[in-house]
């Protein structure tokens, strides 16, 4: 029997199971992650955040004393980065006394990120460089029973995104009518060989955007932190705005994205809602 201590938290309703595994001893496999994230059989979440000291991560070449955010999608697949997740990750470290504030440096598969607690309770994350390629792919998805296609901007935020800028007028109707129960398709398919997060965006005002997202490995989620950065960067490239602050509304709330000199910062809430012990099912053994 395996009994693990866990926490549960969310950032704009993008929710996660958190494990503290300082010495890298838990080693959750894909089945463990899927079970933990299952909303009926397990705890439930869009992904798993495992806090492990970076010295126990062979691929990390930096400071081994840092906390490494090992992020897994709900289907058990490994992901490079999670913008909402890193805020929840930092909140847990700060609230548990595992890190000193107000700034926390976090090692990720996308590199070093700094998370700073703000006076209003939100957290501000340095998201690193953002690269956009307009009209890199054509994305297709059903709208009110009819499959439609749009050009999409490829955005690299340390993980891959395809951003569809729906434009005006009447885009809220299209955004609401999208069927994201299955992953959108894209061509050329080999542009994102490891899959992609797909965002659909409508413009509500100057530097005010609203989006929906289908995350690879998790399905449609109520928010995607790196996705909010991607849509702000795609919109900035479209309108020729090199820097500034964008408000991005997601189904689970609102975040702010700052862009300047090819870099991005994201500010938003992070809440912890539960702590406990979970008993995992026995691992299957090969026949």
Q: CA 72 to CA 37: how far, in whole Å?
A: 10
Q: CA 251 to CA 228: how far, in whole Å?
A: 12
Annotated binding residue at 146?
no
Instruction: Give the mean pLDDT of the chain.
Output: 95
The per-residue pLDDT for 286 is: 44
Annotated binding residue at 24?
no
Q: CA 96 to CA 86: how far, in whole Å?
A: 15
What the chain holds in terms of domains, given with CATH numbers, is 2-128+270-280 (3.10.310.10), 131-261 (3.10.310.10)
The per-residue pLDDT for 183 is: 96
Annotated binding residue at 73?
yes
Say which residue the tokens 């299952």 belong to.
38
Annotated binding residue at 225?
yes
Establish whether 224 is a catalytic residue: yes
Annotated binding residue at 30?
no
Spatial contact of 14 and 7, defined as CB atoms under 8 Å apart = no
Q: CA 228 to CA 84: how far, in whole Å?
A: 10
Establish whether 37 is a catalytic residue: no
Spatial contact of 198 and 159, defined as CB atoms under 8 Å apart = no
Other CB atoms closer than 10 Å to residue 63's CB: what's the count? Answer: 11
Please report which helix (H) or strand (E) contains residue 7, including its range.
strand 2-11
Q: Which residues contact 131 (CB under 8 A, 6 or more apart)?
A: 155, 156, 262
pLDDT in tens, 221-247: 999 999 999 999 999 999 999 899 999
| Angle 200-189-82 from CA coordinates, rounded to 5° | 50
Q: Per the structure block, which two tokens stand in for 112?
A: 């070093």
Q: 225-239 vs 83-95: helix axis angle to the nearest 10? A: 130
Catalytic residue among 127, 224, 233, 237: 224
Torsion region of 44: left, alpha or beta (phi above 0 gives left; psi -120 to 50 gives alpha): left
Residues of the chain with pLDDT under 70: 168-172, 284-287
Catalytic residue among 82, 115, 259, 266: 82
Q: CA 171 to CA 49: how far, in whole Å?
A: 34
Annotated binding residue at 80?
no
Annotated binding residue at 50?
no
């Amino acid at each position: 029997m395996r009994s693990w201590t866990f926490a549960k938290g969310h950032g704009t309703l993008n929710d996660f199971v958190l494990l503290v595994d300082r010495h890298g001893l838990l080693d959750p496999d894909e089945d463990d992650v899927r079970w933990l994230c299952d909303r009926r059989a397990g705890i439930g979440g869009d992904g798993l955040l495992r806090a492990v000291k970076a010295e126990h991560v062979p691929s990390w070449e930096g400071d081994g004393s840092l906390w490494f955010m090992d992020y897994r999608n709900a289907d058990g697949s490994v992901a490079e980065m999670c913008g909402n997740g890193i805020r929840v990750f930092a909140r847990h470290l700060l609230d548990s006394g595992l890190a000193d504030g107000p700034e926390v440096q976090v090692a990720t598969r996308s590199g070093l990120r700094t998370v700073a607690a703000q006076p209003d309770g939100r957290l501000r994350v340095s998201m690193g460089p953002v690269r956009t390629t307009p009209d890199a792919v054509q994305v297709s998805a059903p709208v009110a029973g009819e499959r439609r296609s749009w050009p999409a901007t490829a955005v690299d935020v340390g993980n891959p995104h395809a951003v569809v800028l729906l434009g005006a007028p009447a885009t809220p109707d299209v955004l609401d009518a999208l069927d994201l129960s299955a992953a959108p398709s894209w061509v050329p398919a080999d542009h994102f060989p490891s899959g992609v997060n797909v965002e659909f965006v409508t413009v509500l005002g100057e530097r005010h955007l609203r989006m929906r997202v289908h995350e690879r490995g998790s399905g449609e989620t109520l928010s995607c932190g790196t996705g909010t950065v991607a849509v702000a960067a795609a919109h900035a490239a479209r309108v020729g705005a090199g820097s500034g602050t964008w408000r991005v509304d997601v189904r689970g709330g609102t975040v702010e994205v700052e862009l300047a000199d090819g870099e991005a910062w994201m500010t938003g809430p992070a809440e912890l809602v539960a702590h406990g012990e979970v008993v995992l099912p026995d691992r299957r053994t090969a026949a």
